[in-house]
């Protein structure tokens, strides 16, 4: 087996997605089939080919400025003292 259930579980954890046992079973075989297909890339002699890279330079990007929007742009009711409330860190 190329892709194991443990790997899919670990990838789910890295991506912060809780997966049920049924999902793990289903995704393991499906992901394996997809990865097998992507391995097609191995059969191509690509050593001499340069990959496509973005033409825009980092310095060309627009300034990272904040925009003032009217109303509630955050869409959450969990707030305290003007801040958005998240889960505890530890």
Partner 1 sequence: MVPYALGAGQVAAGIKSREFSGEEYVCQLLERIEKVEPKINAFVTVSKEAIERARTIDKKIRDGEQAGPLAGVAVSIKDNICTKGIKTTCASRMLESYVPPYDATVVRRLLDAGAILIGKTNLDEFAMGSTTEFSRHGTTRNPWDISRVPGGSSGGSAASVAALECAASLGSDTGGSVRCPASFCSVVGMKPTYGLISRYGLVSYANSLEQVGPVGRTVSDVVSMLNVIAGADENDHTTADGRPAYSLQEGNGPRVGLVREFIEGADSAVAKIIHKAVDTLAGQGCKCEEVSLASVQYALASYYTIATAEASSNLARYDNVRYGFDMSPEGYEWNSYFAKARSNFGDEAKRRIIVGSYVLSSGYYGKYYLKAQQARSLLKRELKTLFKKYDVLIGPTMPILPFKIGEKIDDPLKMYLVDIDTVVANLAGMPAISVPAGFADGLPVGLQVMADEFREQTMLDAAYLFEQAAQVQRIPEL
Q: Is 49 in the site for partner 1 (CB under 8 A)?
A: yes
Interface pick for partner 1 out of 1, 22, 81, 86 (rule CB under 8 A): 86
Write the CB contacts of 39 (distance below 8 Å, at least 6 apart in sequence): none
Interacting residues with partner 1 between 9 and 38 (CB under 8 A): 11-20, 23, 27, 30-31, 33-35, 37-38
Interface pick for partner 1 out of 1, 21, 22, 40 (rule CB under 8 A): 40
Write the CB contacts of 79 (distance below 8 Å, at least 6 apart in sequence): 85
Interface pick for partner 1 out of 1, 70, 81, 82 (rule CB under 8 A): 70
Query: Is-contact 19 27, C-beta < 8 A?
Result: yes
Tokens 């505890």 belong to residue: 88
Query: Is-contact 18 12, C-beta < 8 A?
Result: yes
Binding residues for partner 1 (CB under 8 A): 3, 7-8, 11-20, 23, 27, 30-31, 33-35, 37-42, 44, 46, 49-54, 56, 60-62, 67, 69-78, 84-90
């Amino acid at each position: 087996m190329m892709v194991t259930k443990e790997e899919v579980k670990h990838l789910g954890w890295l991506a912060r997605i809780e997966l049920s046992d049924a999902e793990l079973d289903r995704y393991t075989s499906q992901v394996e089939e997809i990865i097998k297909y992507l391995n097609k890339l191995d059969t191509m002699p690509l050593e001499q080919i340069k990959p496509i890279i973005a033409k825009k330079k980092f310095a060309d990007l627009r300034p990272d400025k904040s925009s003032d929007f009217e109303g509630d742009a955050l869409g959450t009711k969990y707030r305290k003292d003007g801040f958005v409330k998240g889960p505890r860190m530890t």
